[in-house]
Structure 1
């Protein structure tokens, strides 16, 4: 969005002012400021990854009428220059007559801010009377480097009989509906363009 804003500012400035030397300098300053802002944001994120080593994080907890999930947390162990280990745990009460499949996924970063892996932890909740303590585990050592996760990006999904019933980071549905909306109008357009009958009728009427 920042790049789009900067671009629009440039086009608007050049169009409105006739590209005088003073205005060109102003536009160049705007470009410089936009680039510096982007670099600062990236630098802040990288610095945060390098300095932040929480032993425990508390991801967003999924909610649904089909289950109750409490005390959800992830414990983290860092091995400098080698890798990372994660243990997730939660108290889950299954209110259905079927098992629940709980999936946790998250991007894994190195200290340069690059995504180097996608962590996934999955386990099913059995049908039990009352709450049960559930646990998940993940480790990454094959990359042999310092690794970090961002607690805000930990996504937790819960499925019941293959159907998604809870999601802490729901995916947008608009792209799917947009494709359908754009595909349906194409049919009448194609029919009108390939059938010459309406045009012949109009010409005969005009004569």
Structure 2
């Protein structure tokens, strides 16, 4: 408030004093420069706070009638010039009589937007129950700043080996297991079987005669 009063008093003094346009321009440029410096300082402070300070991001959830996600999120810790630490949290309500498999997959980027690694976490949710979603992931080997984008995190739900829901557009497969190959059955006609039976009976007759 004091700054605003000082600003208006300064402008009024310039007008009443009959100063030149050049003087007014100099004063306004000084004020503008001061504001920009303050903004730059604030942005720099935010960038510094990104370093070792944990942050939490809400994750997109797959939709379905047989399950429901609750408080699904990822806690991130960006370690400056070192890497990243990830902690997955949430719950899933399973309304079916089958065990559900929930997988969470996410690319890890450097500050240039290049994918340097991928994380993969999985959780099983019991029949007709609410289960915890959890897991940890860390990446240090690149020794540089890394980032994870929430919109790139892919969450999938499986039931009995079948993909039933996903946060991203993809083909929902009927089964993830390899289909059983059908065996070809060759059926013989009665005429084809009879000669073989007759030959066998003939051999048994010859054996009986020899005895």
- TM bucket, shorter chain: 0.5 to 0.7
5+ residue gaps in structure 2?
1-45, 173-211
Q: What corresponds to 1:63 in structure 2?
A: 63
Aligned residues: 123
Q: Distance in 2 between matches of 1:147 and 1:109?
A: 6
TM-score norm. by structure 2 comes to 0.53
Larger gyration radius, structure 1 or structure 2:
2
TM-score norm. by structure 1 comes to 0.54
Show the 5 A alignment for 1:64-83: 64-83=64-83
State the shift of 1:132 in Å.
2.9
Q: What corresponds to 2:121 in structure 1?
A: 121
Q: Distance in 2 between matches of 1:126 and 1:61?
A: 19
Q: Distance in 1 between matches of 2:66 and 2:171?
A: 23
List, as ranges, runs of 4+ consecutive aligned residues in structure 1 with deviation greater than 3 Å: 50-54
Q: Distance in 1 between matches of 2:64 and 2:170?
A: 17
Select the structure that is richer in helix. 1
Does the residue aligned with 1:64 lie in a helix, a strand or coil? coil
CA change 1:90–1:112 in 2 (3 A) is: same
Q: Distance in 1 between matches of 2:105 and 2:91?
A: 18
State the shift of 1:96 in Å.
1.6
Does the residue aligned with 1:78 lie in a helix, a strand or coil? strand
State the shift of 1:171 in Å.
2.1
After superposition, the CA RMSD in angstroms is 2.2
Deviations 1:35-92 (A, max 9, x none): xxxxxxxxxxxxxxx9594701111111211211111111101111111111111121
Q: Distance in 2 between matches of 1:159 and 1:67?
A: 11
Q: Distance in 2 between matches of 1:106 and 1:135?
A: 14
Q: What corresponds to 1:108 in structure 2?
A: 108
Q: Distance in 2 between matches of 1:75 and 1:68?
A: 20
State the shift of 1:144 in Å.
1.7
Q: What corresponds to 2:162 in structure 1?
A: 163
Q: Distance in 1 between matches of 2:79 and 2:59?
A: 22
Does the residue aligned with 2:77 lie in a helix, a strand or coil? strand
Q: Distance in 2 between matches of 1:135 and 1:128?
A: 19
Q: What corresponds to 2:191 in structure 1?
A: none
